[in-house]
């Protein structure tokens, strides 16, 4: 059996999804997602210029060897661009494997460990009453877990994932007005004074059952993060995410020494080598890597297995920048993983997105039910894709009030 060709598409409804389609002489195709938010053309070029020409003629069943061939063969291994490109190939090869076997991927991994996978939604508010309304809407829809982000009184601009005005909505991650980023202003003291109390009020209003998550988005120093994690302990957060910049892994040790608040980290990691020590030393509770820029199913499954040995559960990244293809890959891992925790899930199910990526995956009452179709269980409609093309966009950047650059 041979790979006969592969195509890369960039575009989608309100997103620049990077979609890979691998064709074989067995008449079976596989799909992969290489979307790297706001840098989408780079994994697309890596695929197009280097990987696809090498793929032609390879046996698609040898997904492990193909992964090793590209990873070891690159010499300059790892990094989000390369790992997203390897990841898309890997997903597509697993998709082909599942279709050849006539089995959904979760069965190839070892079968289902649960019927549905718990997901969390993103509630956001310009201020606390606005955030409470947002949480209430998700609770009414049946969500059992909600991430909460709130505008901070006195902060000169909105902060990460927060609208400028109450009732505001939209894509807070990507600004499609151009390639030059907008600037957000950040002040740690105001955040530290306000946020623990706001989280306590959310807990008081919604009661003990709701799983409440909060994302610090890499903004605190290790000492500040330790103080914050300690201050919010009575809230009983499901997790505190990215309390410190992810490069400094020792920072997590200080947080652990001061608090029992569960810590989630890893959405900017792209290999096991960035989280193996965090996992082995049991300094985190949830690993957040995405199957996309984590090198695909083959590599992420190794991380999940390592995590299982150390009581670390999964909480895969599921920002709206992931296409339904990688969300499906994660859904199959979620159905199988003995150490599954939760899945971040942002509404992908718009009519335009469903038309581009038809599937039988289903979201119901705050749970994700994976399709039983062979492979990933997602299709890609090339006719629909023809209407989309790449649109430049950017993340905001962050500065302190005196102009110092900070972490987005």
Nearer to Mg ion, 246 or 376 (CB): 246
Name, in order, each residue with C-beta under 8 angstroms of 73's C-beta and a sequence gap of 6 or more: none
CB of 264 to ligand GCO, least distance (A): 9
Catalytic (active site) residue 310: no
Determine the angle formed by the axes of helices 128-140 and 188-206, rounding to 10 degrees: 40
In the list 224, 267, 274, 285, the residue contacting ligand GCO (rule: CB under 6 A) is 267
Applying CB under 6 A, the site for ligand GCO has a residue count of 9
The closest of 151, 188, 220 to 400, measured between CA atoms, is: 188
Question: Does position 215 bind ligand GCO by CB under 6 A?
Answer: yes
- Minimum CB separation of residue 320 from ligand GCO in Å reads 8
Closest CA to 327 of 10, 3, 14, 33: 33
CB of 299 to ligand GCO, least distance (A): 19
Q: Interface with Mg ion by CB under 5 A: which range of 157-165, 188-196, 209-217, 225-233?
A: 209-217
**How many residues in the chain?**
408
- Rounded Cα distance, 190 and 351, in Å: 40
Alpha carbon distance 39, 54 (integer Å): 23
Shortest Å distance, C-beta 386 to ligand GCO: 26
Q: Which of 185, 319, 355, 397 binds ligand GCO (CB under 6 A)?
A: 319
Please report how close the Cβ of residue 169 comes to ligand GCO at its closest, in angstroms. Answer: 15
Quick check: 6 and 55 in contact, CB under 8 A?
yes
Closer Cβ to Mg ion, 224 or 267, answer by number:
267
DSSP code, position 312: P
Nearest distance in Å: CB 267, Mg ion: 5
Q: Taking CB under 5 A as the rule, which mask of x and - marks residues 253-282 in contact with Mg ion?
A: --------------x---------------
Is residue 332 among the annotated active site residues?
Answer: no
Q: Work out which of 90, 175, 215, 274 binds Mg ion, going by CB under 5 A.
A: 215
Rounded-to-integer distance, Cα 149 and Cα 258, Å: 23
Of residues 95-134, those binding Mg ion (CB under 5 A)? none
Residue 400 beta carbon to ligand GCO: minimum distance, rounded to whole angstroms: 19
Alpha-carbon distance of 110 to 125, in angstroms, equals: 41
Residue 33 or 267: the one with the smaller Cβ distance to Mg ion is 267
Residue 127 tokens read as 């201020």
Residue among 99, 217, 301, 361 that touches ligand GCO (CB under 6 A):
217
Stretch touching Mg ion by CB under 5 A, among 212-220, 230-238, 371-379, 388-396: 212-220
- Per DSSP, the chain holds a count of helices (H) and strands (E) of 14, 16
Contact present, 155 and 130 (Cβ < 8 Å): no
Mutual angle of helices 296-309 and 80-101, in 10-degree steps: 100
Residues sharing a CB contact under 8 Å with residue 355, sequence separation 6 or more, in sequence order: 381, 384
| 321: partner contacted, choices Mg ion, ligand GCO, none (Cβ within 5-8 A by kind) | ligand GCO
Distance of CA 126 to the CA centre of its chain: 24
- Candidate residues 95, 175, 224, 344; the one interacting with ligand GCO per rule CB under 6 A: 344
d(CA 108, CA 301): 12
Residues in contact with ligand GCO, shown as a per-residue x/- string from 359 to 398 under the rule CB under 6 A: ------------------------------------x---
Q: In angstroms, rounded to a whole number, what is the distance separating the alpha carbons of residues 202 and 189?
A: 21
Q: Which stretches of the chain bind Mg ion, using CB under 5 A?
A: 215, 267
Q: Which positions touch ligand GCO (CB under 6 A)?
A: 37, 173, 215, 217, 267, 319, 321, 344, 395
Residues belonging to the active site = 160, 217
């Amino acid at each position: 059996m041979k790979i006969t060709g592969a195509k890369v598409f960039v575009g989608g409804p309100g997103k620049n999804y990077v979609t890979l389609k691998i064709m074989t002489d067995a008449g079976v195709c596989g799909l992969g997602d290489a979307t790297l938010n706001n840098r989408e053309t780079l994994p697309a070029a890596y695929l197009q210029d280097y990987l696809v020409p090498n793929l032609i003629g390879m046996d698609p069943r040898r997904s492990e060897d193909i992964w090793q061939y590209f990873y070891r063969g690159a010499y300059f291994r790892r990094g989000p661009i390369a790992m997203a490109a390897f990841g898309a190939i890997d997903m597509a090869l697993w998709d082909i494997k599942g279709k050849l076997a006539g089995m959904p991927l979760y069965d190839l991994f070892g079968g289902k460990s649960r019927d549905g996978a718990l997901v969390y939604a993103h509630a956001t508010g310009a201020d606390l009453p606005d955030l409470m309304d947002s949480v209430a809407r998700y609770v009414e829809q049946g969500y059992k877990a909600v991430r909460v982000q709130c505008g901070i009184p006195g902060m000169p601009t909105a902060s990460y994932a927060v609208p400028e005005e109450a009732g505001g909505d939209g894509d807070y991650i990507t600004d499609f007005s151009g390639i030059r980023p907008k600037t957000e202003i950040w002040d740690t003291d105001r955040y530290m004074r306000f946020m623990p109390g706001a989280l306590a009020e959310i807990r008081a209003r919604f009661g003990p059952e709701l799983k409440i998550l909060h994302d610090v988005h890499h903004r605190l120093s290790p000492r500040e993060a330790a103080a914050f994690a300690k201050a919010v302990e009575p809230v009983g957060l499901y997790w505190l995410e990215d309390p410190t910049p992810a490069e400094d892994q020792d920072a997590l040790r200080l947080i652990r020494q001061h608090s029992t608040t569960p810590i989630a980290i890893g959405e900017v990691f792209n290999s096991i080598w960035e989280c193996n020590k965090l996992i082995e030393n049991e300094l985190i509770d949830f690993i957040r890597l995405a199957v996309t820029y984590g090198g695909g199913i083959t590599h992420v499954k190794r991380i999940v297995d390592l995590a299982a040995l150390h009581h670390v559960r999964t909480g895969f990244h599921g920002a709206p920048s992931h296409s339904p293809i990688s969300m499906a890959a994660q859904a199959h891992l979620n159905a199988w993983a003995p150490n599954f925790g939760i899945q971040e899930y942002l509404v992908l199910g718009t009519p335009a997105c469903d038309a581009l990526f038809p599937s039988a995956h289903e979201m119901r009452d705050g749970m994700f039910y994976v399709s039983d179709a062979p492979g990933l269980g997602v299709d890609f409609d090339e006719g629909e894709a023809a209407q989309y093309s790449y649109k430049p966009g950017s993340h905001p950047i962050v500065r302190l009030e005196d102009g110092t650059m900070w972490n987005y």
